Amino acid sequence: MADDIATAYGRAVVEIGRAEGAADRVVDELYEFARTVDGDADLRSTLTDNAVPLEARRNAITEALQRAHPGTIAVVQMLLSADRIRHVSDIASAATNLSAESRGASVAVVHSAKPLGEAQRQALVTALSARAGQPVELKVTVDEDLLGGIVVQLGDTVIDGSVLRQLTQLKSALVTA
C-alpha cells in the first residue's frame, strides 16, 4: 500500500479515536488487531477473501475484537467496507506513528524472543530515547522465531541484537580467521 494512503487512513483512525475520546486506546487496539491478523493465517484469509460473505467477515471482526472500544470496531469495519482490510498492518503502523508524533515521541518496534520485564522495557526506553533525542514509545512483539535477544526498528534504523545475528557474526569471524 502506498505510504500516503496508509498515512491518510492512519490519520482518520487517530481522528476517529479522538472523536470517541479514546484516541490512544483505539490506536493501540488497532495495532494489536493488526498483529493478530498478521499472526493468524485463517483470520487473515477470512478477512481478505472476497469470496467469504461480508457478514461472515464482519462476524470475524466482532469476534476478534470482543473487548475492544466501539471506535476500534468501527475503524476495522470501515477498513473492511473500503476494501482496505488487507492493509490493516500498514494503516495501524501509520496511526501509531502519527499518534506518537502528536505527543512529540517516536515509536520503536521491538521483536523479542520472550516477553520483556518492566525493568527491561524501561532500560530500552531510556536508551532509545537518548539515541533518538526524544521520547520513545515501545511496541513489543514476542517473536518465537528468534532464538534469543531482540531486534529493534526505530524509524529507518534497525538494531539487530538477536542471537542469530551474533552467531552469524561469529561464524563469519571463524571462517575469515
Q: Which of 99, 130, 159 is the last residue of a domain?
A: 99
Tens digits of per-residue pLDDT, 76-100?
999 999 999 999 999 999 999 999 9
Split into its structural domains, the chain has a count of: 2
Whether 84 and 114 have beta carbons less than 8 Å apart is answered as no
Q: Mean pLDDT over all residues of the chain?
A: 93
Q: Look at residues 119, 99, 101, 97 and name the one whose alpha carbon lies nearest to residue 109.
A: 97
Domain of 114 in residue numbering reads as 104-176
Q: Which cell is 131 given?
A: 539515541
Which uninterrupted H or E stretch holds 140? Answer: strand 136-142
Count of beta carbons in the 10 Å neighbourhood of residue 142: 12
What pLDDT is recorded for position 22?
A: 95
Q: Which of 99, 133, 164 is the last residue of a domain?
A: 99
